[in-house]
Structure 1
Amino acid sequence: MTAPGPRPTLAVTVGEPAGIGPEIAIRAAWLLREQARCVLVGDAAYLAMTASLIDPAIRLSALSTMALRHSGLPHFGPTTIPVIDVPLDAHVVPGQLDANNGRAVLATLDLAIEGCQAGWFDAIVTAPLQKSTINDAGIAFSGHTEYLAEKTGTPKVVMMLAGALQAQSSEQEQPYLRVALATTHLPLKDVPAAITRETLDQVLDILHADLRNKFGIAAPRILVTGLNPHAGENGYLGREEIDTITPALQAAQARGIDARGPYPADTLFQPKYLQDADAVLAMYHDQGLPVLKHATFGRGVNITLGLPLIRTSVDHGTALDLAAQGLGLADSGSMEEAIRVALSMVRAQAST
């Protein structure tokens, strides 16, 4: 996805230190060092130790936050990965959470946001963190997405996952699937009430705008699922499609947004429909994401739309069980793709 050109600078937060985040961040940053200037944000000593165990050839160079704020980010060539040192407060035991490190984990995200606002970084790529660790440290925290929205003063954000699909033949261009969500982490019983005209208007506006401005798609085509089985079957299986979703789509079309539907979710995710779409808007988390995660073979990317900055992430969690077994078991594929997508978005945004 990434075109050749100057290396954008990406802040890569390493997430929960007891999970696989530090390993996959180091592996991905090193693998893609010719394409991106990835700046790791985490405990420099712990990352240096981890890097030496992964591959002694990996070179890290630590920089303090004080130096960064005083002089900005110095130049680093592709032979070295810079690390902004955010020291942990407790010794790390892989696989074992420690609330004493919760504030330091959150501080890495704060620094990445600060760096984007100050112009040090072009985008943020986040490794997975453990929400419970931060909450156990005494800080109310519901997730990356909500925290980024709060810190940047963004009233509404949209979660979208994306990933490359397997082409049907070697001659075909690899298709790409993007699935955005009208609602995110809600109990299923609360979803219908959360799908309102106002919500759908906001989500469709954000999705359309970011597909244009951050993905470089001049005229985005959006396919929208229904909420109920068979998209309500003309009201026999629910009226949300008639009363809420269809009027929202008609209003979006009047605003110049090419949003079509509502379509039954069980038949929409087929090549004959997706080949004409730039994104699918699903009504709830487990309606759209299981399809994407299955189809992208562990290389999906989580993207937060609506922010005044670019943020991508992996599509998986901290994998504490893998981390406890030692290095070398974690797959860095999703982190690699998150970096590639961030690069593509930075360049698309710069060209609009």
Structure 2
Amino acid sequence: MTVPEIDLTDPAVLFDPFTAYGEAREAGPLARMTIPGLGTPWVVTRHEDAKAVLNDPRFELNSQSFLRPPGIPEHCLRYLRTMSEFDGPEHTRLRRLAAPAFTARRAEEFRPRVRRIVDALLDALPAGEVDLLAEFARPLPMEVICELVGIPEVDRPQWREWGAAVAGGFGPAFIEVIPKVVAGARAAVARCTAEPGDDLISTLLRTPERLTETELVTLVWHLVLAGQTPTNLIANAVEVLLAHPAQLAALRADPSLMSRAVEELTRLTGPQLLATPRYAKQDVAFGDVVIREGEPVITALVSANRDPRAFTDPERLDLARTEGGHLSYSFGPHFCLGAAFARAQTEEALSALLSRFPELALAGPLERSPDPGTWRLASLPVRL
């Protein structure tokens, strides 16, 4: 088997991962990735194989899968190990207890509240040119999380600041806000315990078997950490739609396409390029290559979602595409619990934006942040 190499220090990979991973995928189902300081993990590049690995108990998440930046206060550590870091019975238990708050039905019931948040953010945009990433796509998820968790209006400005720091990635600001988010989440759990409302925490507190206080605080942290995905998805989607005027016109002419369009945009330009590393629990044969026990394996969502074995003409944007099965929300036991909420949020954001601003256009060149794990813009200057 030919085993190509992908070098994450190569600017060509950072700024055009679709070509780099696509070439590796067509050379063979496995590649090696060069990550400074982390060795050369295996990379699974094809759709069918990616699904298999994500759903295979022979590949596990463990403490090596998740990096902890230094400097986190000791008293916060017990709140930071989310259900995404567990496998097996403990993951199943946590997911089962949290699932009632994240059903597709609850996401639909929550949609009007998302719509109000979207409209308020659009109302606040200045006339003329604006950075749509900074002024709309970035604040939206944190506003939605605050509404979902039941954070009082008076406390939301500080939560917006915390969300921005978390979205900025590992660094001093990230470390600094962790104890603030933990304290805010503990206060939210205490408030909902004393005075239940129509929010996620109160819903989970009403279940017969429920998460502990620590687990509820951890869930809020998980929402703040993982719930930023729509920021980059919305920005990427706007960029792609403006680059495909015929598809954009078709979507504006038939808003009923929006749900299918969001799935296609998520497949083609979803922000998460790579899944969390998993480790082989035993030797696993992969074609004529053996992945040895203890070796890391990374699923390349960026290439699996454009695999011609799974999607017809996969490099083409087709908002009417009927083929499903993209892996942007993962697959198997760790399929994103909040996927229905992310879809609803993205649909509402794009629907309102496109209907309110029919002359929406780019207002300058676009720059990307060179992030090996996330496909994201540094800014999105547009004329409204």
Interval containing the TM-score (normalised by the shorter chain): under 0.3
> Structure 1 or 2: larger helix share?
2
Q: TM-score, normalised by structure 1?
A: 0.27
> Structure 1 or 2: larger strand share?
1
Q: TM-score, normalised by structure 2?
A: 0.25
